[in-house]
């Protein structure tokens, strides 16, 4: 295999095919190799690729944004060598795999809302491996939005967003390894592992893991972090859990209100209003409710059955 430069197109970062017919001797992806042959792409006097308007014979620069090589030549996610873009080969491959996981039929506002929700979640993570992996997923979301909708608002900001996230996490990983800090790191790693629930979901807090396990133990089919489907194209929101009743699109949502900060409470009221305005079945769990597992389990079963009857005319949904 050739060096890293042979693996990704210098214009778009996509996998390449061999094309040696230009002065720079680059290997381009299929699309840009064809564009170069057909005159839709050219190389400027400065040696940069430019788009060509064939009718007017004018050129304009290609906005590369997240694809541009960093000044230090390092990957913005992991810090390894990245001489041909913002990501090293390993991070690029992971980003590429994440791209395939997103639903290409999602609306623009849904994908963008997913981006900002994911960004918030990454900021809560302490395990640096999770942070890096999800930064690559964040990059994939930005690229998908541009690929599908031609909207570059996320790719214009993604590099700065990832750099900001990684910078905030850096002090924890750069501490000198002493007996005390090493024990602390082990404790943090174990704490992160506790966020994996009995059915394999990864949740953001211990109370959420308790609630998820209650649903699993009660044999209630559920999805963690599901977008709430509304009839209008207003800003989407994520629910903590979704329980399908009649099919994968129609069911009951669950929200756990686990914080009391002003921003959180403001968002809580916004979400409550959307549920009410759209008459969406919702079960609310307050901050301390998870501590009495049996009581919460009994209440969830009762409320799910009541809402299934009210909204979907299904009696004894859970027996």
Within-domain flag for 68: no
pLDDT of residue 251: 95
Query: For residue range 176-197, what is the model confidence (pLDDT) as tens digits?
Result: 444 454 455 444 444 444 467 8
Q: What is the pLDDT of residue 264?
A: 82
User: Is the pLDDT at 147 greater than 80, yes or no?
Assistant: yes
Q: Calculate mean pLDDT across residues 18-26.
A: 54
Contact present, 222 and 241 (Cβ < 8 Å): yes
Q: Quick: pLDDT tens for 247-279.
A: 888 999 999 998 888 878 888 998 999 999 999
Write down which residue in 131, 159, 193 finishes a domain: 193
Q: What is the pLDDT of residues 57-95, one digit of tens each?
A: 787 766 555 777 788 889 999 999 887 678 888 898 888
Identify whether 152 is part of a domain.
Answer: yes
Q: Which among 270, 264, 237, 239 is positioned nearest to 254, based on CA atoms?
A: 239
The CA distance from 58 to 35, in Å, is 15
Rounded CA gap, 40 and 239, in Å?
45
210 and 307 in a common domain: yes
162 with 214, same domain?
Answer: no
Percent of the chain at pLDDT > 70 equals: 79
Average pLDDT score, the chain: 80
Q: Domain holding 268: CATH number?
A: 3.40.960.10
Containing structural domain, residue 212: 206-312
pTM higher than 0.85: no
Q: Which of 233, 229, 283 is nearest to 255 (CA)?
A: 283
pLDDT band at 107 (very low <50, low <70, confident <90, very high): confident
What is the number of structural domains in the chain?
3
The phi, psi pair for 232, rounded to 5°, reads -120, 160
Q: Do 178 and 219 lie in a common domain?
A: no
| Band of residue 217 on the pLDDT scale cut at 50, 70, 90 | very high
Is the residue at 78 inside a domain? no
**Among 166, 193, 220, residue at a domain's last position:** 193
């Amino acid at each position: 295999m050739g060096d890293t430069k042979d693996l990704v197109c210098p214009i778009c970062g996509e996998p390449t095919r061999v094309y040696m017919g230009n002065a720079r001797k680059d290997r381009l992806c299929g699309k840009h190799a064809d564009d170069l042959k057909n005159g839709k792409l050219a190389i400027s006097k400065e040696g940069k690729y430019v788009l060509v308007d064939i009718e007017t014979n004018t050129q304009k620069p290609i906005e590369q944004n997240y694809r541009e090589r960093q000044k230090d030549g390092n990957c913005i996610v992991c810090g390894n060598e990245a001489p041909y873009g913002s990501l090293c080969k390993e991070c690029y491959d992971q980003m590429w795999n994440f791209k395939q996981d997103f639903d290409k039929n999602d609306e623009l506002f849904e994908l963008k809302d997913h981006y900002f929700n994911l960004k918030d979640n990454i900021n809560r993570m302490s395990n640096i491996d999770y942070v890096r992996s999800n930064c690559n997923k964040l990059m994939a979301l930005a690229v998908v939005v541009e690929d599908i909708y031609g909207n570059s608002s996320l790719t214009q900001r993604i590099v700065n967003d990832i750099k900001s996230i990684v910078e905030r996490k850096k002090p924890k990983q750069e501490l000198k390894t002493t007996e005390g800090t090493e024990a602390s790191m082990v404790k943090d790693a174990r704490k992160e592992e506790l966020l994996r629930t009995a059915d394999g979901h990864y949740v953001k807090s211990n109370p959420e893991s308790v609630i998820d396990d209650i649903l699993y133990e009660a044999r209630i089919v559920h999805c963690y972090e599901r977008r709430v489907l509304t009839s209008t194209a207003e800003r989407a929101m994520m629910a903590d859990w979704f329980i399908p009743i009649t099919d994968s699109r129609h069911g009951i949502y669950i929200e756990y209100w686990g914080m009391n900060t002003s921003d959180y409470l403001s968002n809580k009221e916004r979400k409550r209003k959307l549920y009410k305005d759209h008459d969406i079945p919702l079960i609310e769990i307050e901050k301390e409710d998870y501590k009495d597992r049996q009581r919460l389990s009994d209440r969830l079963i009762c409320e799910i059955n009541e809402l299934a009857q009210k909204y979907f005319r299904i009696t004894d949904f859970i027996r």
